[in-house]
Amino acid sequence: MDKSLILSLKQLLSPFTSIKPNKIAHISVNPQKSHLLFFFLMFPLLTTTIVCDCNSKFSSWYVSNSILTTSKRVKAWGYGFYGTLGYESNENLGDEGQEMSDYLPFVDLGGDLVSSLHMGNEHICVILMDYGIKCWGRNDLGQLGHEDIETIGDEVGEMGSYLLPTNISFPLNNLPTQIAIGHHHTVILSEGNEVITWGYNNQGQLGIESVDYIGNEIGEMGKNLLPINLGSGQIPYKIISSISSSCTLMINEQDMKCWGRNTEGQLGYGDTSTRGDSANSMGSYLEFVPLPPGITVSKIRSGMYIYGIISQSSTLYLWGSGISGGLGNGGTDNIGDLPNQLGSYLPSVKLGSGRSVIEYSGGTACGCAILDDFSLKCWGLNLNGKLGYGHTNSTGDEPNEMSDYLNQVQLPTGFTPQSLHLGQDFTCVISSINDMLCWGNNNVGQLGLGSTTIIGDDPSEMGDYLNTIDFGVGVEIELCFDISPTINPSSSPITSPPTFHPTFSPSTPSPSLLPTTLSPSISFVPNCCFTLSTNLSKIRFYQRKIKLYFVQY
């Protein structure tokens, strides 16, 4: 880091912080003076934990569904076997009358409030407001991290105060900040940029250079749970998982590494060899995924045997299994299982002339995207009408079915989709005013409608025929884009689509605390971070509890 910038930052922050000019510098902020610091930085609310995307607010997987509410509590419905829903039974919920709305209780977590929510195939984990982690559901493969194989949540006396936090330990008492859950494994990213994993490991998805399970036997968790090796100097920033594999995006937002199952080329390395299951397959031996040159990654996403990225220019790229058109490229070939398919060869997903992508979610051989005009488009396998087009024909597996040929999914009048969540054979969207809609397969009540009626395979079931899910009086879903107080993009812009990367341009405080030669400016990425730029350097700040983490890049 430039010495001039370090000195300027010290001068600026010394009344409020202690600063360590390392490669990643930790600024420990005095909460009693933090408002003064942020008055200068034009960035509010230091003590609020930032959640980087919607995946931590709602969770759909396989045939179950769950939400995090504004009261920081969880409701879950759909497939209940193995105690997946956390209601101390194996009963499905949402498939009969009088099971939703006020009849659907909050999951009893012993009074603990929840910061983020994550669902695997048949287990759920949450990060609590005190940064503890609790998991319940299926556990025959150690996926709960309880050092046993006992299922939790299917019998009376297992939830509430009986449910103990999962025993994890990071060096220097770092806190967990992100969870990614695969089919039967769990991945945690800490505020100190370390990744730990546990659970099923038949394909190397834990990244520990073996196929040993972790979390199913005594002595495997806590301080015995070591961070995985991603290579010297690598700083993981975001994590994502799929079936038997995981990926991480590095702090520079340009480098990505993946490991685990690779049968469809979903790791993106131009072959079908697994990574992470044997010696010399992690660390510096694990190469970067060859992403398109020159892009900066905004989001990493996954489907079943599919990985993808959304660039900061709002372009979507997908690779992995191409069956039934799930990659949205007008064919069914896999991408990533042969050389020269990624990098500059990787095509973007075309979703219409002039359109860009706000959000993507993948299911089984299918995907959906929210576009910059707040329309929704889906493609791939259309079993049970999960694409929402009023039929069951696959779309995107042949030429002339994507881009402008691909119709918008008809949503109710005035419904503005904000986030998107796909299960195995169903689709859910959340609106900007807390409404939730689901369609597709409903064999166990995963659509939350109090029935098992399939929705979306008939033309008279979409649009204004769709019913929002009733969660009960006063129950609201926690919105994932809290970009108050001044950034509220309109769903009906007058001249151009709203931006999701707004920029603050504050005038220089008087008197200036920074030398005028540095020409400081601040840009804000909603729900993520902010960047302090000068003519000498650029630093990105990430908020975690009452600390700031910044990285020069």
- 224 in helix, strand or coil? coil
How does pLDDT run across 417-462, given as a tens digit for each residue? 999 999 989 999 999 888 999 999 999 999 999 999 999 999 899 9
Instruction: State the pLDDT at residue 433.
Output: 87
Instruction: State the pLDDT at residue 474.
Output: 94
CA distance 292 to 305: 20
Residue tagged 């019913």 (tokens): 467
Beta-carbon contacts of residue 313 (< 8 Å; ≥ 6 apart): 295, 356
Instruction: State the pLDDT at residue 63.
Output: 83
Contact at 8 Å (CB) between 528 and 520? no
Could you tell me what percent of the chain has a pLDDT over 90?
A: 71
How does pLDDT run across 122-156, given as a tens digit for each residue? 999 999 998 899 999 999 999 999 999 999 999 99
- 110 in helix, strand or coil? coil
Instruction: State the pLDDT at residue 27.
Output: 36
How does pLDDT run across 20-56, given as a tens digit for each residue? 333 333 333 333 433 333 333 333 332 223 334 565 5
Residue (of 431, 408, 411, 407) closest to 421 by Cα position: 431
pLDDT band at 533 (very low <50, low <70, confident <90, very high): low
CB burial readout 90-122, b (16+ within 10 A) else e = bbbbbbeeebbeeebebbbbeebebbbbbbbbb
Instruction: State the pLDDT at residue 297.
Output: 97
**Which sign does the torsion angle of CA 536, 538, 543, 549 carry?**
negative
- 492 exposure class (CB count in 10 Å sphere: 0-12, 13-18, 19+): exposed
pLDDT band at 171 (very low <50, low <70, confident <90, very high): low
How does pLDDT run across 351-389, given as a tens digit for each residue? 999 999 999 999 999 999 999 999 999 999 999 999 999
Residue 491's identity, in one-letter code, is: S
Contact at 8 Å (CB) between 318 and 311? no
Instruction: State the pLDDT at residue 44.
Output: 32
The arrangement of strands across the sheet holding 357-362 comes to: 357-362, 366-371, 376-380
pLDDT band at 175 (very low <50, low <70, confident <90, very high): confident
User: Would you tell me how many other CB atoms lie within 10 Å of the CB of residue 419?
Assistant: 23
User: Would you tell me how many other CB atoms lie within 10 Å of the CB of residue 187?
Assistant: 27
- Statement: residue 197 has pLDDT above 90: yes
pLDDT band at 514 (very low <50, low <70, confident <90, very high): very low
Contact at 8 Å (CB) between 372 and 358? yes
Structural domain spans, the chain = 3-50+489-552, 171-289
- Statement: residue 95 has pLDDT above 70: yes
How does pLDDT run across 232-277, given as a tens digit for each residue? 999 999 999 999 999 999 999 999 999 999 999 999 999 999 999 9
pLDDT band at 521 (very low <50, low <70, confident <90, very high): low
How does pLDDT run across 280-301, given as a tens digit for each residue? 999 999 999 999 999 999 999 9
| Cα atoms found within 13 Å of the Cα of residue 538, Cβ hemisphere only | 7
Beta-carbon contacts of residue 510 (< 8 Å; ≥ 6 apart): none
* Mean pLDDT on 200-219: 97
pLDDT band at 57 (very low <50, low <70, confident <90, very high): low
The structure tokens listed for 544 are 């975690």
- Statement: residue 489 has pLDDT above 60: no
CA distance 526 to 365: 31
Contact at 8 Å (CB) between 182 and 242? yes
Instruction: State the pLDDT at residue 273.
Output: 98
CA distance 541 to 544: 10
Instruction: State the pLDDT at residue 434.
Output: 85
- Statement: residue 336 has pLDDT above 50: yes
Instruction: State the pLDDT at residue 547.
Output: 37
User: Taking phi first (over 0 means left), then psi (-120 to 50 degrees means alpha), and beta for anything else, what does residue 103 get?
Assistant: alpha
The structure tokens listed for 395 are 């779309």
